[in-house]
Amino acid sequence: MSTLPIYPFDADRAIGTVIEIAGNTVKVNLPQAAAPGSRWHHGHQLEAGRVGEFVVVESGHAAVFGRITAVRLPERERLSVEEDLGGRPDVHPIGIVSLVASVDLASGKIEPGVPHHPRLGARCFSAHPLLIKWLAESTRFADTEGGAKLLTLATLPFSSETLIRVAPESLFGRHCAVLGTTGGGKSWTLARLIEEAGRHKSKILLIDPTGEFHTLNGPHIQHIHVNSDSAAEQRGSFEVVLPYKRLLEGDLFALFQPAPQSQAPKLRAAIKSLKTLHYARLVSGNPAKYASHEQAARALLTQVGEGRNIPKPESTRAPYENASRAFAELIDKPASEFEIAALAEQIQLECCWPSGQGASQNRYGGVHQGDLGYCINLVSRVEQIVSSSEFACLFRPGDKKDILMDVLLPFLANDSLSVLVLSLKELSFSNNIREIFVNSIGRQLLLFGRKNKLVSQPLIVFLDEAHQFIGKSLGEEGSKLKLDSFELIAKEGRKFGLTLCLATQRPRDIGQGILSQMGAYLVHRLTNPEDREIVERAAGDLDRSAAAFVPTLAAGQAILIGTDFPIPVTLQIIPPSTPPKSSGPRYQEFW
C-alpha cells in the first residue's frame, strides 16, 4: 500500500474518546451524537456519531479503523432526551465501534484485524472520505506502467463526489458474486460492471436468462439469442444453437428422464447402438485411417444396409457385437455422435429377449413385449422432445450458428468486441433444458480453458440468476446429472484465464461450497436470514457487525467485501448509462 492520502487524526474531525476496550470492539464517548443534524468540514459531511459511520482511533504508531455499530445513552439519561418545555439538557451518548483494520502510519501498510489495540482515553475521529476511498480501492496496480486499468464502480453513500475505482484483478481475479434480493439493484450493478469492463480490451460472456440486458449497446457489444425472437433480431441480435452432439449421455438422460430400473438400461443400450452405427459408417468412409476396423464396419453395414437403426430382435449378434468391441474407444468418447432422430425407434429395437424365446449364442431373441410396454412412454417422450420446436436449438440446428464454435471462438479472436450477451428469454423451462444448456456451455468453456485458449485473452462469465443453474442435480437415482460445470470453473478456472461473476437473489440455493470460492462480493440488501447466514459463512471478511447492515441497505447500495479489500465498505453503485429492463409491473399506468 502507498502512504495515506490524508492525515487521519485531524483535530477538527475528532468526535469522542475511548472509554472501554474489548477484543474487537471499543466503547467511545460521543458527545455530539445527540446533535439534531450533521455538520460540515471542508466540504465533507461529518456525522460525528451516526450508526454506520467509519471512524479512526489512535493507537500509537498505527491508526485503527472501525465502524460505529450502535449508539446509546447511559441508563440514567435515557429520559433526558424527551422534550421538556422547549429545552434539551446535556446528554452523554456512548457508541460501540467494531474494529476492522489497522494502518501503520509510517509505511501505510494495512493489517487486517487489530494487532495493537487502542488505549483508554485514545481519541476517535470521523474517517475522512479520502481515507475510506483509499481503503476501498485496490491500489496494488496503481503503479502499473502506463497507468492501471480501473473500473469506476461506485461512490460513497455519504460523499457522492468520492468515486470508488477498483482493479479488475481485485474484483474478478478470484471470481465475484453479486448478491441481493429483488429490487436491491443487483441487475444495475451487473450492467455497471459490464459497461466499465467493456471500456477496456476485455472479454465478457453474459448469460442472460430473462432477456433484461437487451438494453446494453455499443459497437463493442454483440447480442445473440436462443430460439426465434423477432424483437431481438430487430435489435441486431441473431439466433444461435447448441447442437446435441456437444451434449453428454448424462445430459440426454436428464432431458429424456427415463425410469431408472426399466427404461434407463434400454436408453443407454440404444445410444450405444447408434454410436456404433455412426462410427461404422465413419470407418467405412476412411478405410486408410481405420484399416484395422474396416472388416467389423463392413459386416455391420451389410446387416443394416441403408437403414438408420441396428435391428436386434431375431437378428445375428456377431456384426453388432464385433463392431461395438472394435469401436469401443470411439464409442466411449463423451460427445453424442449419433443420429438423434433414430433414437426412439432404436429404443424399441433394444426390447428383445437376451435368452429364451428364440435367443441363442448367435442370435437375439424375439420382441420382449414386457420391456416394450415399459418403454413405450419413454419412446413417446423422446419422439416428442426431438421433434418439438422448443428443443430445435439442440436437435434441429439447421444452418444456424453454433454458439461455441461459430460465435464464441471468433468473438475471443475479435479485438473490436468486448461483450457477448446470450439471451435465454425464449428458451423453454420444460425438461430441464435451460439448466442442461447452460451447464453444457460451462463445460465447453472449461475445456477451452484447459486447452490454454483463454490464457492470453481472459474470459469473465457473468451468470445472472445463477441459482437456476448451480448446485442442482437432475434426473432419477442411478442416472443423476450434477450441474457442476460452473462449480468446477470456480475451483480451477482461474489458472486457465476463466473466471465467474455470479448474480443471484437466493445465495442459499447456490450453497456455501461455491460461494466460498468467490474472492469478491458485492452484497445488496438481503432480507432472508438463511441467505445472510450463508453469505456470512462464505465471506470470511463479513463479520456480524457488517452483516447487520445488509437488511437495511437502500436500493443501489452494496457492501464490497473481498480478499483484496481490507474492510467491508458500503458503496452507492453508480447507475449504468443503459439500465437493464428489470422494473416490475406499472400498476398506476396500466390499471
Which residue shows C-alpha cell 460427445? 335
pLDDT of residue 442: 94
pLDDT of residue 37: 66
Residues near 291 by beta carbon (within 8 Å), at least 6 away in sequence: none
Q: Indicate the angle between helix axes 264-285 and 294-304, nearest 10 degrees.
A: 110
Contact 316, 303 (CB under 8 A): yes
Contact 255, 433 (CB under 8 A): yes
pLDDT of residue 1: 46
Worst-scoring range by mean pLDDT, 201-205, 217-221, 526-530?
Answer: 526-530
Please tell me whether residue 284 adopts helix, strand or coil conformation: helix
CA distance 303 to 316: 9
**Number of H helices and number of E strands within the chain?**
20, 24
Mean pLDDT of 523-531: 89
Contact 156, 559 (CB under 8 A): no
Pick 115 or 476 by higher pLDDT: 115
pLDDT of residue 427: 94
314-363 confidence digits (pLDDT tens): 999 999 999 999 999 888 888 888 999 999 999 999 999 988 777 888 99
Pick 589 or 288 by higher pLDDT: 589
When pLDDT is cut at 50, 70 and 90, the band that residue 177 belongs to is: very high
Does the structure show a pLDDT above 60 at 126? yes
From 524, 531, 533, select the one nearest 582 (Cα to Cα). 524
CA distance 135 to 564: 10
Does the structure show a pLDDT above 80 at 158? yes
Does the structure show a pLDDT above 70 at 541? no
- Beta partners for residue 502, in sequence order: 177, 463
* Ranges of each domain in the chain: 11-136, 166-226+415-472+482-590, 249-391
Contact 240, 224 (CB under 8 A): yes
> What is the DSSP track for 175-226?
-EEEE--TTSSHHHHHHHHHHHHHTSS--EEEEESSSGGGG--STTEEEEEE
Query: What average pLDDT is seen over the chain?
Result: 88
CA distance 3 to 372: 78
The percentage of the chain sitting over the pLDDT mark of 90, rounded to a whole number, equals 54
Does the structure show a pLDDT above 60 at 2? no
Instruction: Please list the helix, strand and coil fractions of the chain in percent, rounded to the nearest 5, in that order.
Output: 35, 25, 40
Does the structure show a pLDDT above 90 at 383? yes
From 498, 567, 494, select the one nearest 205 (Cα to Cα). 498
Worst-scoring range by mean pLDDT, 98-102, 449-453, 482-486, 512-516?
Answer: 512-516
- Beta partners for residue 296, in sequence order: none
568-585 confidence digits (pLDDT tens): 889 999 999 999 987 778
pLDDT of residue 38: 66
178-193 confidence digits (pLDDT tens): 999 988 899 999 999 9
What fold is seen in the domain 166-226+415-472+482-590? Rossmann fold (3.40.50)
Residues near 30 by beta carbon (within 8 Å), at least 6 away in sequence: 15, 16, 48, 49, 68, 71, 93, 94, 95, 124
